[in-house]
Amino acid sequence: MTYPNTQLFINGQWQDAADGRTLAVFNPASGKEIGRVAHAGKADLDQAVAAAQKGFETWRDMAPAERSRIMRKAAAFMRERAGEIAPLLTQEQGKPLAEAKGEAMAAADIIEWFAEEGFRVYGRIVPGRFKPELRQMVIKDPVGPVAAFTPWNFPINQIVRKVGAALAAGCSMLVKAPEETPAAAAALIKAFADAGIPPGVLGLVYGNPAEISSYLIPHPVIRKITFTGSTPVGKQLAALAGQHMKRVTMELGGHAPVIVCEDADIQLAVKSAGAAKFRNAGQVCISPTRFLVHESIKNDFAAALVKYTQSLKVGEGLAEGTTMGPLANPRRITAMAEFTQDAVKHGAKVAHGGERIGDAGNFWQPTILTDVPLEAKVFNDEPFGPMAAIRPFNTLEEAIAEANRLPFGLAGYGFTKSLKNADLMARKVEVGMMWINMPALPSAEMPFGGVKDSGYGSEGGPEAMDAYLNARAVTIMNV
């Protein structure tokens, strides 16, 4: 499939940047340029923000049933077009075709769920405390136009979670999507456009991230900010939003612990954690990274994980049979090499991988490190790549303490046959999402977000709607 050049979407129209600027898009499997994406300037942003305000005024006043109808139609388009969208996503991001198609299909499920959740934006009637004539009401209104900033690792998924909740609540949204993976984001927005969403309700821009965020966040039209990305950048944007009293949702970086107890089913743990670890070449915010394995089974677990890793087929995402594609950019290759070298320097052993594959594209061997000391960089900084670091523990309390040692708290995993162990991990591991005896399985109806330095707010479940709604108190005295 030919990869398209990508335009901005402003006020219901696809258009080039006003000054004609573009950026190159590269295929991570080859390192070659495959297309261009429009680079928004101030004139484009001025137009986009004005459109978002008008779109909000229209969308806010539409009946929930009509908003739901448009959203469900967009979901249907995503499902119908998944086979066309997936190759675009694979070309620009690198993930295997099956994963890319799964991301497009999952977007349809998320849109549909939020389309129905919009019917449940309820206020309430509160009895008057002192007089029965008092009619006290709690009214929930959409907060207003929203600015969304999203990353390249899941360019459809990370947008659709934000868009679904915002639209269901009655907000308009201007998306600043990733320049590295523009076509997939555009395909999602096109599904809504083709479904008949009014002009200005959804906008899409690309360009310099710092310039766009410094323009949109302080802008008086924008009433809420939602960001997915690294913790350092998230803190900067949250601070800027705080200066302007803007509501914020932050889904930031993680460093997910995996606790494998003495009584765990090793094959289940390897299959579940292995699938989660090497999905999207480990470039997943909820990817398991710190493997804490009971001393008595550490060798058996490591051997089984190595065997699993050896079964992976690394290659170009469009090639048949590929189960792990390239890393997104050359920076990730450099980072993987640095993590590996640092771990070995501190005494860790490379049980598998640890090297770049070839010299074309951004391919890295799936890597297993064992006997990793706490001082190693990989046990303190998120590797964001196909690297699993294994360290033994003796007591579950010791493992939980290590799981909670870092300031991150996005996702965690546990494997045990004991209800007591499962309950202890569920209560004590400080993460926003915990999966026990299974791989990561996010769903639209469940909260998605972290605690501590991994952010605040949710992008799933009914909780996701709260940040897009103002709760107002109205009291009427009957006279």
pLDDT of residue 479: 80
pLDDT of residue 133: 87
Q: What is the pLDDT along the chain (479 residues), one digit of tens a residue?
A: 799 999 999 999 999 999 999 999 999 999 999 999 999 999 999 999 999 999 999 999 999 999 999 999 999 999 999 999 999 999 999 999 999 999 999 999 999 999 999 999 999 999 988 888 899 999 999 999 999 999 999 999 999 999 999 999 999 999 999 999 999 999 999 999 999 999 999 999 999 999 999 999 999 999 999 999 999 999 999 999 999 999 999 999 999 999 999 999 999 999 999 999 999 999 999 999 999 999 999 999 999 999 999 999 999 999 999 999 999 999 999 999 999 999 999 999 999 999 999 999 999 999 999 999 999 999 999 999 999 999 999 999 999 999 999 999 999 999 999 999 999 999 999 999 999 999 999 999 999 999 999 999 999 999 999 999 999 999 999 88
pLDDT of residue 192: 98
The three-state (H, E, C) secondary structure of the chain, written as one string: CCCCCECEEECCEEECCCCCCEEEEECCCCCCEEEEEECCCHHHHHHHHHHHHHHHHHHHCCCHHHHHHHHHHHHHHHHHHHHHHHHHHHHHHCCCHHHHHHHHHHHHHHHHHHHHHHHHCCCEEEECCCCCCEEEEEEEEECCCEEEECCCCCCCHHHHHHHHHHHHHCCCEEEECCCCCHHHHHHHHHHHHHCCCCCCCEEEECCCHHHHHHHHCCCCCCCEEEEECCHHHHHHHHHHHHHCCCEEEEECCCCEEEEECCCCCHHHHHHHHHHHHHHHHHCCCCCEEEEEEEHHHHHHHHHHHHHHHHCCCECCCCCCCCCECCCCCHHHHHHHHHHHHHHHHCCCEEEECCCECCCCCCCECCEEEECCCCCCHHHCCCCCCCEEEEEEECCHHHHHHHHCCCCEECEEEEECCCHHHHHHHHHHCCCCEEEECCCCCCCCCCCCCCEECCEECCCCCCHHHHCCEEEEEEEEECC
Active-site residue, selected from the candidate residues 99, 112, 251, 316: 251
Give catalytic status of residue 285 as yes or no: yes
pLDDT of residue 448: 96
Active-site residue, selected from the candidate residues 261, 285, 316, 430: 285
Give catalytic status of residue 251 as yes or no: yes
pLDDT of residue 478: 83
pTM over 0.75: yes
Q: Which of 286, 225, 221 is nearest to 250 (CA)?
A: 225
pLDDT of residue 131: 86
Residue 199: both structure tokens together: 């002009």
